[in-house]
Amino acid sequence: MPFSDLPLDQLRRYRPAVPEPADFDRFWRATLDRAAATPVLCDVRPEPTGLRLVDTWDVTYAGFDGEPVRAWYTRPAGVDGPLPAVVEYAGYGRGRGLPGERLTWPVAGYAHLLMDNRGQGGWYARGDTPDPHGGPGGPTIATRGILNPDDYYYRRLITDAVRAVDAVRALPGVDATRVVAAGNSQGGGLALAVAGLVDDLAAVLVTAPFACHILRAVQLTDASPYGEIARYLAVDREVEAAVRHTLAHVDGVAFARRATAPAHFGIGLRDDVCPPSTGFAAYNQYGAAGGRPVPPLREMHTYPYNGHEGGEAVHVRRQRSWLEAVLRRADAPVRT
């Protein structure tokens, strides 16, 4: 697609006043406290894959409301010591797929937890986690329960994502002080949400993030998932205020403002699924809350001729190099 958002020089300065509901922090604190009342690990069993260089386990952990969420836990074979862990969140419509589909991080020497998306899967990769909730709203994932923050689908999925961090820290062979949240598209939005809700992550890797500056995105693109919200409002014309109120509770800009971990971003400037200005709105306000004298380390890579696919393997290579440097810096002795 042709470039249709703001020019890059304006994107670098774009800091919109995305509104936050007054109960934003209270809403999420109550939601996560309720989830934390259930022990996180439910079941961990070896998964035979026939792959000789990695070992994989089928993990079930307690997510939103204590409900079971599936994940694949994979690590380099024959490595016993505690490893830094990457918790990866999948894109819209994807499930966790089959074991062995995503091996970049374990073959790079990391423990890796790939979270299943409740109620998704079947479009691009198989899913194994149901979403047993309804609530007033539309028929699609992005509009499920959208008339009330308590009922909204992304309240549940974001809670699952936070609990995935708790789960990986409870698994054997993980250095709990070096946990990284990572994702692309919907997964990038989940990684941002986790960064705003978990204050001791080692790093965050965010690519083409969904659910940032959501109301602007709904105005700019008809592509799903944002187009699903617009199509719902085109049918139910009198619920816009309720939808705005709900979406404000899950907007990635609000989470980004509260984040404290070093962050690495990537955005394709021709992205018509998650418009570049919406991702920059989060990046430019990353770590801005709390009046910190030293903001968290952050880095942005843009791909002028790419859309939602972004930098693909080139970007992953940059993520790996950056993450290795961040973790080395964190391990360096403090000089006095």
Active site residues: 185, 271, 308
Cα separation values, 314 from 92, 150, 287, Å: 22, 39, 26
Of the candidates 238, 184, 205, 271, the one whose C-alpha atom is nearest the C-alpha of residue 1 is 271
How far from chain centre, in Å, is Cα 2?
27
Dist CA 270 CA 248 (whole Å): 26
Q: How many CA atoms lie within 13 A of 262 on its CB side?
A: 17
Dist CA 137 CA 132 (whole Å): 15
Dist CA 316 CA 301 (whole Å): 11
In sequence order, the β-bridge partners of residue 60 are 43, 70
Dist CA 181 CA 146 (whole Å): 26
